[in-house]
Structure 1
Amino acid sequence: MMLLTGARPGEVLVLRWEDVNTQWKGICIRDKVQGTREIPATPYMLHLLATLPRRNEWIFSSPTTATGCLTEPNNPHTRACKAAGLEGLTLHGLRRSFSSLTEWLETPAGVVAQIQGR
């Protein structure tokens, strides 16, 4: 999700199912700069979210944490990257990759800044 939206790790971890608007295809992200921002959700993003289990109100839930949401994704992320042969790719690197991809697509910088909450 971070690669597809450019969101910060902390913004993704606190997403709730109520933040996803399937009718208008948007996601409400709580950020540290503006408070909240609404970003577009592609059909592919909505498809990926629909495959996640709905254990509680959190999109990225965890049955083993006291809060019920995933709090420290670094270890699973590192294991997944190692299995895929992508060692050294950080969570924040996914945000930077989104920015690089938008440059390649020649997306206007202002649009990218709004989506990323900069």
Structure 2
Amino acid sequence: MNWNQLTELSQLEAIKEESKQQPILILKHSTTCSISSTAKNRLERNWKQESVGDLKPYYLDLLKFRPISQEIASTFGVEHQSPQVLVIQNGECIYDASHFDISFAELAEKVA
């Protein structure tokens, strides 16, 4: 799994535009939370690129980049959670899940 790092607020506008060409996954991860680490590891273990087509994954360390995490919630109209995944397509969040509800199978189904 090849994560793209989300480290700048300006990337959110680029992600919205990019999502018009391909779906985008954003993982909001807390590096100090065991639940977040477990959810990230489960996602990485189950990742099969052929199951998600051209879904492009972005990783946000929300402790280092808290303002970006808050802007994600505002921009895409979701409640902040940690850990949390969002699927962005055509500039909008079409799916979000948090904690142990994060499921590769559900992600694959949303972008199929």
Q: With the length of structure 1 as denominator, give the TM-score of the two structures.
A: 0.29
**Structure ranking higher in strand proportion:** 2
- Which is higher, the Rg of structure 1 or of structure 2? 1
